[in-house]
Amino acid sequence: MTSSPEELSSTSKDPTQNSSSKTKQALRISKFVIALLRKTVKTFVVGYGIKSALNLLFALLGAKSRKLIVSGSLTPWLGILGTDSISFGAFLAALSSSYICIRAGLARFAGVPLTSPLNPAISGALSGIAIALDASGERKQELALYIVARALHGLWAYGVHKQVLPEVPHGSSITFGILCAGIMFAFMYRPDLLKKSYREFIGRLASQARFSNLLWFLREVNGAPHVPAHYYKHVAEYRRDFITDNRLFRFPLKGFGFS
């Protein structure tokens, strides 16, 4: 059986077509890698710059750190431009770049299209591991609380879209408030259930050094001494700082674990 001229001509073109498709594919991959590297570097620079600027601002606001900076000491600059800023920039860069890579990899090799809801779900779950690059335990707690609140709000919004759940006005704020209510209850009455980094995170958000002013506020509002369960029993360093800081003796200590 002889082949027709059309079949012979198409067969002769196959090697060229294959070579052309491979070249186009390699070009697309190279463009993707270059764009990914640019985005990674850009995200790291932005994250590092913002964190360093904030560290410098807070250092200038502190009298002790400001004196060290003016004196020309390298110690404050190492804290401002050092590990904390680098780890934060690395976390942001790894989070964004890994998410893009995983999404593209799932679509290219696992057959999960970009339009599938499963693709961003898997990509987000795996790229979230990048938080391990952030050295700040306090910041990890803050991000975890924010992500949980946003995830619950997103699931509820999806239920509203499917007409399974009713739409609730200000649902995002309500969700975040419910989560914070449970955490604050544990913070005041069962702080032994919370990690030390989470207690520090709550204290920083309240702008209260070592929680002393926050406890004093609750004591005055309630009209009676507020005694958190086992508070100073398991946080010995706060008890020591509480005693040695003369500024904290402006109100009676009875009811705070002191006689």
Q: Provide the domain count of the chain.
A: 3
- Is 8 domain-assigned? yes
Do both 53 and 129 map to the same domain? yes
Over residues 10-61, the pLDDT tens digits come to: 444 556 667 778 888 888 888 989 999 999 999 999 999 988 888 777 777 7
Do both 127 and 3 map to the same domain? yes
> In this predicted structure, which of 2-6, 34-38, 90-94 has the lowest mean pLDDT?
2-6
- C-alpha span between 73 and 130 (Å, rounded): 33
- Is 249 domain-assigned? yes
Report yes or no: 35 and 68 within 8 Å, Cβ to Cβ: no
pLDDT of residue 257: 42
Give the mean model confidence (pLDDT) for residues 223-239. Answer: 46
pLDDT of residue 45: 93
- Is 200 domain-assigned? no
Do both 142 and 128 map to the same domain? no
Give the ranges where 190-230 is alpha helix by DSSP (H): 196-205, 212-222
pLDDT of residue 213: 58
- C-alpha span between 9 and 14 (Å, rounded): 9
- C-alpha span between 213 and 206 (Å, rounded): 9
Do both 24 and 91 map to the same domain? yes
Do both 147 and 244 map to the same domain? no
Do both 156 and 248 map to the same domain? no
28 class by beta-carbon count within 10 Å (0-12 exposed, 13-18 middle, 19+ buried): exposed
- C-alpha span between 66 and 72 (Å, rounded): 10
Do both 142 and 122 map to the same domain? no
- Domain containing 174 equals 137-195
Do both 246 and 130 map to the same domain? no
CB atoms within 10 A of CB 238: 19
pLDDT band at 234 (very low <50, low <70, confident <90, very high): very low
- C-alpha span between 134 and 44 (Å, rounded): 12
Using the structure block, give the residue that is written with the tokens 């004591």: 219
Give the mean model confidence (pLDDT) for residues 120-133. Answer: 87
pLDDT at residue 210 greater than cutoff 90: no
- Is 185 domain-assigned? yes
DSSP 134-180: ---HHHHHHHHHHHHHHHHHHHHHHHHHTTSS---TTHHHHHHHHHH
pLDDT at residue 144 greater than cutoff 50: yes
Most confidently modeled of 97-101, 125-129, 158-162, 165-169?
A: 97-101
Is the pTM higher than 0.85? The answer reads no
pLDDT of residue 204: 64
- C-alpha span between 77 and 82 (Å, rounded): 7
Do both 107 and 214 map to the same domain? no
